[in-house]
A and B are shown apart, each in its own frame.
Chain A
Amino acid sequence: MLLRVTDLKTHFFTTRGVVRGVDGVSFTLEKGEVLGLAGESGCGKSTLGYSLIRLVPPPGRIVGGEIELDGLNLTSMNENTFRREVRWKRISMIFQGAMNALNPVYSIGYQMMEPFKYHTDASEDEAKERIARHLELVGLDPEIVSRYPHELSGGMKQRVMIAMALLLEPDLVIADEPTTALDVIVQAQIINLLKKLKKELGLSLIFITHDLSILAEISDKIAVMYAGKIVELGDSEIIYENPKHPYTQKLLAAIPRVHERVDKLEFIPGAPPNLANPPPGCRFHPRCPYAIKICMEKEPGKEVLDDGRVIYCHNIPR
């Protein structure tokens, strides 16, 4: 097992109260596995990603739980060791909207050199060689090191970000909405690329998006989040073919499919809760058509079904 996350809690201490961005999340990930993380905007997907690489923006903080990488306890590790040994080297992240974060005044090559300066003692020649190799890996011509961000298309910039996340050859990459801003053709190219890296390098990946169709294309396992918690987690075939949690069911029914004609799309009336003051009991109960009395009073506990999936629901629809 590569990664084990147990009851992780990351909260934001704002002047208007405590926002429970991630509120008791547990899962595991094997080497070479892709975990897809889905859920509506604001449910805590990015916060979970930031927690794993320990870059939660203030006023946020990990307040509970454990993260273990290859048996190494990351939550208790001091920041110096984490920076030297783990961040970028063993776990890296492609940030949401990152391609727009490329600095317009520096060349691509200059920006790709940065990680080497802080995290390795590689010589400049070694670094250059490695940059060239990784650019080729993501299907870019190594000569683009001399170009500036505005001279690249969106898909090319996104590939540069992927190459940067891979530079120090980490075990785990967290990709936060890496294809959301791109059109379908570029999107498919990037997904193909990530599949290839998984196959060839045995890369483990946490792929974050609210687009469940994209997750189906790449994930071995799916975790569906709602209001700071995972509500259902299992093999992606099982979840897609037979979703059990009412929230997962609604989410899947809301996807229009290009090769079928559907007459009416389902949607979930109401809005996700305010995470500074989530509803008691099951957080989904105000929007759930299956809610019964206990759903309003008691938080559902973890249940493992015969097919191996984990689900949190008092009244699993049959």
Chain B
Amino acid sequence: MVQDVELKVEGLKKYFPIKRGIKSVMKRESPRFVRAVDGISFEIRKQQIFALVGESGCGKTTTGKLIMKLIEPTEGRIFLRGQDVSHLKSKEENLRYRKMVQMIYQDPFSSINPRFRVYDVLEEPLIIHGIGNSRSEREEMIHHALELVRLTPPEEFVSRFPHMLSGGQRQRVAIARTMILNPEFVVADEPVSMLDVSIRAEILELLRRLRDELGLTYLYITHDLSTARYFSDWIGVMYLGRIVEMGEVDMVIDNPLHPYTRALLEAVPEPEPERKEIIKSLPIKGEVPSAVNIPDGCRFHPRCVYAKMGLCDTKHPEMIEFERNHYVECHLVGKI
């Protein structure tokens, strides 16, 4: 059964201007930009989990913030259930959007106010959105949210301060705060990367259960391909502000087409001690260029071991659907 499209993003761009010194302004140098997100398009079907992976600084969080509408896009459009939400004008529209779309932040240690008790942490969004008519109604919602994330019995947890919780419990409070508004769509920005394996597994299981029970749709941002494979249905691989490969998660991971995806997969550590003497050969060269000076042609070409000069360094490759539900942006696809 093909599900409806929940979220769609079209040609999204975010350029951050670089602050210029007075000298550079006087010399009338043209302003320079960090091209954090540089023209990405994808869609996420209802109740699916779309993983956005890629190395540090490639633009994952910026994409998440654009979807959350915490920052304005430089170009491009965002649709939620077919409705263009790129520029919400009225305050009511904005508030409604902020209730439907929620974000789980990366760091469970700093995303919760340390002076708030768990109760206050969860009541705050209800008050902001004017939900619950009485204190007892809100209390019931708070208890329900805590039960949802298995912080039970709720009475035990409501009066605790964050420092009285373990890392995994804190992250569950953060998730409860996200879920209490009954969102449709959740951006989960590295929700488990700070946690160790056992808690990580627990939180991912929880998020998946909430997806099934509440019918949620997620954008899962991570640099960890193993959890991406385990947790998501679709995956987009980002490099320097663009999605270079995208598709059903099993197809992309079992049959990576883009040289960058291949390098990423090659680098993932596997719990196989037989390989401990082997020095891995990584099919990638050099360091990531800065998002201020993006290379011409294919932006991956200076690091690509397959790059064909005269083509890859001059012409930007178009995204093509190489096989059903598997897209890639590379001149040499199918030839390497």
Residues of A that sit less than 8 Å from B by CB? 40-41, 153-156, 182-189, 191-192, 195-196, 210-214, 216-220, 236-237, 240-241, 250-252, 254-259, 261-262, 264-269, 271-272
Contact = CB atoms under 8 A, between A and B. Distances in A.
A183 B270 contact: no
7 contacts: A211-B269, A216-B269, A217-B276, A255-B197, A258-B253, A258-B270, A259-B270
A105 B222 CA distance: 32
B205 A265 contact: yes
Interface in B298-327: none
A189 B270 contact: no
Nearest to A185: B267
Given A184-B264, A189-B282, A218-B276, A256 B229 contact: yes
B41 to A, nearest CB: 24
**Residue of A41, A188, A271, A272 most packed against chain B (CB within 10 A):** A188
Nearest to A238: B273
A184 B204 contact: no
A7 to B, nearest CB: 26
Interface residues of B, number: 47
Contacts of A269: 202
A210 B195 CA distance: 9
B268 A267 contact: no
B148 to A, nearest CB: 17
A202 to B, nearest CB: 14
Contacts of A259: 253, 270
A186 B303 CA distance: 13
Interface of B: 55-56, 166-169, 195-202, 204-205, 223-227, 229-231, 250, 253, 263-277, 279-280, 282, 284, 287-288
Nearest to B167: A41
A240 B205 CA distance: 23
Given A40-B196, A210-B197, A183 B223 contact: yes
Contact of A267 (B202, B274, B284): B202
Contacts of A216: 269-273, 275-276
Contact of B250 (A192, A261, A264): A261
Dominant secondary structure at the B interface: helix
Contacts of B265: 258
Given A256-B229, A265-B205, A211 B287 contact: no
B198 A240 contact: no
B28 to A, nearest CB: 28
Contacts of B276: 195, 216-220, 236
Contact of A264 (B205, B263, B269, B288): B205
Contacts of B267: 184-185, 187-188
A213 B270 contact: yes
Contacts of A182: 56
**Residue of B197, B224, B263 most packed against chain A (CB within 10 A):** B197
Contacts, number: 135
A184 B223 contact: yes
A185 B279 CA distance: 13
B226 A188 contact: no
Nearest to A43: B196
A254 B287 CA distance: 32
A268 B280 contact: no
Contacts of B227: 256
Contacts of A267: 198-202, 205
A175 B69 CA distance: 41
A41 B275 CA distance: 26
Contact of B284 (A154, A185, A251): A185
B90 to A, nearest CB: 41
A7 B59 CA distance: 48
Nearest to A236: B273
B116 to A, nearest CB: 21
Contacts of A219: 273, 276
A237 B276 CA distance: 10
Contact of B271 (A40, A240, A268, A272): A240
A187 B269 contact: yes
A212 B197 contact: yes
A192 B279 contact: yes
A271 B56 contact: no
B151 to A, nearest CB: 12
A261 B231 CA distance: 10
Given A192-B279, A256-B227, A266-B201, A184 B268 contact: yes
A41 B253 CA distance: 30
Given A183-B56, A216-B272, A261 B197 contact: no
Given A216-B269, A256-B227, A265-B201, 8 more contacts: A40-B198, A182-B56, A187-B269, A210-B197, A211-B269, A214-B269, A218-B276, A252-B271
Contacts of A214: 269
A194 to B, nearest CB: 10
B39 to A, nearest CB: 23
**Residue of A189, A195, A256, A269 most packed against chain B (CB within 10 A):** A256
Contact of A196 (B166, B269, B279, B284): B279
B166 A211 contact: no
Contacts of B201: 254, 256, 265-267
Contacts of A155: 287
Contacts of A210: 196-197
